[in-house]
Structure 1
Amino acid sequence: MSLIYEYKLDGTNAQYSAIEEAIRTTQFVRNKCLRLWMDTRGTNRNDLQCYCAQLAKEYDWACALNSQARQAAADRAWAAISRFYVNCRNKKPGKKGYPQFQHDCRSVEYKRTGWRLEPDGRHITFTDGCQIGQLRLVGTRDIETFPITRLKRVRLIRRADGFFCQFLVQAQRRVHHVPTGKETGIDLGLKEFLTDAQGNTVANPRHLRKAEKKLKRLHRRLSRTQKRSSGRKKARKKLAKGYLKVSRQREDFARKTANALVSSHDFIAFEKLSIANLVKNRKLAKSISDASWGRFLLWLRYYGAIHDIPVIGVEPAYTTADCSACGARVKKSLSIRTHICRSCGLVLDRDHNAAINILAKSRTVGQTETAPSAGGDNASGQPPSTSSRRKPTTGKVAE
């Protein structure tokens, strides 16, 4: 199990420029490795790792980047390649995700070498040839309390509001769960973010919808600027900060809602929604993306794992149509928000009815959903990260 600790970096403009150069080198190595795979049949992961040393000999500025950081860039290329292979083997319908060259790399990853954490735990020094030097870590986590052998990776990330440093820490995280004797099923929707089997609801925050007016104004301001001008760079940065704020609001809401739900129940059932298919509906795609169901479910499984309580995923088929009292099937369109059963006379909110059905359906499911190792990130396929900074407060059709 692992955790992610994140800090904001405080340095000089020269140091930020050095980080940018390291990120560009990472992108270059990744793209060159991808080109080698395209041009040479039978290229494997080991070939890409060896190619990094060859690139360092050919390009002096590439040699400045730490050798393990170059290998991490090669691993990024291989991750895209292996994902393409898996999709082909599984005969995934549609596009198979053929690897593409990267043009917007925003991070560089160091493994065990090329950096040194200072004894005070508030400064980190990069010792490779990129000349990044010593940077101050802005955050409240005590990273120095972990043995250095548990720090498996350091990643420098560029975002709209500055540069950040992530530490991957190998650690166990367990929370003593206080039993409540409560079980519930949850139905995700767009009118209400979720409705549980007891009829309680959580309002849909609609972060993007609320910020849309400001974002549109920033888009117009950007479109009026001249290309490659300093004014355009400033307008673009403001727009990026606007979207970053929305992203952090979604993350904060998903994390807090999932934590509250897990802390107050001993058993939770949810729908295994195919969100990638749902967003193909062009009329609902923006609202579904704004609700960020996928991120919420990721946090729900994560907190279920560290609290050691069952979190069950069930198929969503007919959970809305079936009557929770008698089982009769009452078909209804999205515009009908009330479940009215002609067989038993039950009148109930459609989401409440669905939540009851989800809970009942989960009792017949024998397999518990489990979260992966706690504390990773999306790129590595691990659960959500544990950030050191308090961020801003950062199938079935939606019903």
Structure 2
Amino acid sequence: MIIYELKVKGKDKQYRAIDEAIRTSQFIQNKCLRYWMDNKNVGKYDLSKYCAILAAEFPFADQLNSMARQSAAERSWSAISRFYNNCKKKINGKKGFPKFKKNCRSVEYKTSGWKLSKTRKAISFSDKKGIGTLNLKGTYDLNYYDIKQIKRVRLVRRADGYYAQFVLDVDVKVKTQPTNQVVGIDLGLKYFIADSRGNVEPSPQFYRKSEKQLNRANRKKSKKFNQAKNKAKLRQSNNYYKARNRYARKHLRVSRQRKEYCKRLAYSVIQSNDLVAYEDLNVKGLVKNRHLAKSISDAGWSTFRSWVEYFGHKYGKVTVAVPPNNTSQNCSNCGKKVNKSLSTRTHICTHCGYVEDRDVNASINILNLGLSTVGHTGNYAWGDLPSWGIGVNQLSNGESLNQESLSL
């Protein structure tokens, strides 16, 4: 599967219709979740049948395309099945019990309810929500693919406008010449990556550089928030929503900067090597450190890893996730353990006298671990996804599976 994203242009009336379709999809999703909570032995097909009952009971739900209603039910079942799987695996901590959605930003259509124009530069929606015909703006050309290959169309609302995402049933793989090179990568905060050859890439810190602007925009938004209206459950002023949108657009810009940086760096790493070994970091656990949480989130380690896995799958390269235990403490020259604090940036082995940068020493250890287990590894990226969809495999039946590299 590959996913193409194009921006849609329309009138304000059409945008309001898209918002209404999104709210309806959220309503059906929450209703299906409530139906599962109130009844025993409810399965995926029971939720699909329940959509017809909702359409008969609520006129605004009947206005939404039938396959869009089924897609909303499948989203609910995706959360439910994930909860069941976590319980079966007996993972530590919370198992991810499904929650009701409050701020959905997308509505998904399957193979009906929409139609592309002859030039593939516009798309029309035929349900009763009144979305109508929307122009498509972007560099992707849908003329290369057959209509039957488009399995899903999703309308997404973001701070800077509305987008259409097309899920295409295409398996894209590119054959490349081997480079006969291998590399180990250590992820850090001082350097974003340090490889086993001694090369380092500084951390861009996009959020830190934009933090003053973000805080200023947040203060302006807060000044326009009326607490009395909030208690009375009244709508805020138009100036508040304008300030909130400006604040959201700044955050969106930072997010896109980080994703594009990780994408370019991962592409360069994959194109230059036949095997890439990296740490299997538990980022969710690391951000619990209140002193480093902001810096770790700003680094974008998970995004970089996902892009490495994706490009590794696309270009037929091997990506290996190794345990990070003691990779910074052990000496890459003699293998002895040399305890050091996080503030110690230079590795000095007291056993063999080897001196190297802390991160470079760790990257060499990561490469050695990756090479020692390379016979049991493979490519772990699942399909061709854009930057916003990395880490999720969109199946043809609408379910989403979170996936990571297999740890060794």
- Tell me, yes or no, whether TM beats 0.5: yes
In structure 2, the residue matched to 1:74 is 73
In structure 2, the residue matched to 1:61 is 60
In structure 2, the residue matched to 1:219 is 218
In structure 1, the residue matched to 2:140 is 141
Is 1:367 the counterpart of 2:376? The answer is yes
In structure 1, the residue matched to 2:199 is 200
- Kindly provide the CA deviation profile for residues 196-219 of structure 1, in whole angstroms up to 9, marking residues without a partner as x: 000101110111111100000011
In structure 2, the residue matched to 1:42 is 41
- Kindly provide the CA deviation profile for residues 261-303 of structure 1, in whole angstroms up to 9, marking residues without a partner as x: 1111121111111111111111111111111111110110110
- Kindly provide the CA deviation profile for residues 63-116 of structure 1, in whole angstroms up to 9, marking residues without a partner as x: 110000000000111111111111222222222211111110000000000000
TM-score (norm 1): 0.93
Counterpart of 2:328 in structure 1: which amino acid? Answer: T
In structure 2, the residue matched to 1:171 is 170
The 1:379/1:86 distance shift into structure 2, 3 A limit, reads farther
Counterpart of 2:264 in structure 1: which amino acid? Answer: K
What is the CA distance between 1:129 and its match in structure 2? 1.1
Equivalent pair of 1:10/1:135 in contact (CA under 8 Å): yes
In structure 2, the residue matched to 1:288 is 296
Q: How does 1:248-397 map to 2 (within 5 A)?
A: 248-365=256-373, 366-370=375-379, 371-375=381-385, 378=389, 381-382=392-393
Is 1:161 the counterpart of 2:160? The answer is yes
What CA distance in whole angstroms lies between the structure 2 residues aligned with 1:114 and 1:261? 42
What CA distance in whole angstroms lies between the structure 1 residues aligned with 2:345 and 2:143? 53
What CA distance in whole angstroms lies between the structure 2 residues aligned with 1:189 and 1:380? 21
What CA distance in whole angstroms lies between the structure 2 residues aligned with 1:218 and 1:369? 45
Moved more, 160-169 or 282-291: 282-291
Equivalent pair of 1:119/1:144 in contact (CA under 8 Å): no
What CA distance in whole angstroms lies between the structure 1 residues aligned with 2:391 and 2:268? 26
What is the CA distance between 1:260 and its match in structure 2? 0.7
What is the CA distance between 1:59 and its match in structure 2? 1.0
TM-score (norm 2): 0.91
Equivalent pair of 1:313/1:369 in contact (CA under 8 Å): no
Equivalent pair of 2:171/2:383 in contact (CA under 8 Å): no
Equivalent pair of 2:160/2:249 in contact (CA under 8 Å): yes
What is the CA distance between 1:378 and its match in structure 2? 4.4
What CA distance in whole angstroms lies between the structure 1 residues aligned with 2:14 and 2:289? 45
The 1:19/1:380 distance shift into structure 2, 3 A limit, reads farther
What is the CA distance between 1:368 and its match in structure 2? 2.0
- Kindly provide the CA deviation profile for residues 313-352 of structure 1, in whole angstroms up to 9, marking residues without a partner as x: 1111111111111111101110000000011111100000
In structure 1, the residue matched to 2:185 is 186
Give every structure 1 segment of 4 or more consecutive aligned residues whose post-TM-superposition deviation is greater than 3 Å: 376-380
Counterpart of 1:236 in structure 2: which amino acid? Answer: R
Q: How does 1:2-41 map to 2 (within 5 A)?
A: 2-41=1-40
The 1:92/1:28 distance shift into structure 2, 3 A limit, reads same
In structure 2, the residue matched to 1:105 is 104
Counterpart of 1:100 in structure 2: which amino acid? Answer: K
Is 1:86 the counterpart of 2:97? The answer is no
What CA distance in whole angstroms lies between the structure 1 residues aligned with 2:198 and 2:343? 20
What CA distance in whole angstroms lies between the structure 2 residues aligned with 1:378 and 1:122? 23
Counterpart of 2:335 in structure 1: which amino acid? Answer: G
Counterpart of 1:172 in structure 2: which amino acid? Answer: D
In structure 2, the residue matched to 1:389 is none
Equivalent pair of 2:150/2:169 in contact (CA under 8 Å): yes
What CA distance in whole angstroms lies between the structure 2 residues aligned with 1:132 and 1:152? 20
Aligned length: 382
In structure 2, the residue matched to 1:387 is none
What CA distance in whole angstroms lies between the structure 2 residues aligned with 1:205 and 1:11? 36
The 3-state SS of whatever aligns with 1:30 is helix
What is the CA distance between 1:192 and its match in structure 2? 0.3
The 3-state SS of whatever aligns with 2:392 is coil
Counterpart of 1:106 in structure 2: which amino acid? Answer: R
Counterpart of 1:143 in structure 2: which amino acid? Answer: L
What CA distance in whole angstroms lies between the structure 2 residues aligned with 1:144 and 1:112? 17
The 3-state SS of whatever aligns with 1:50 is helix
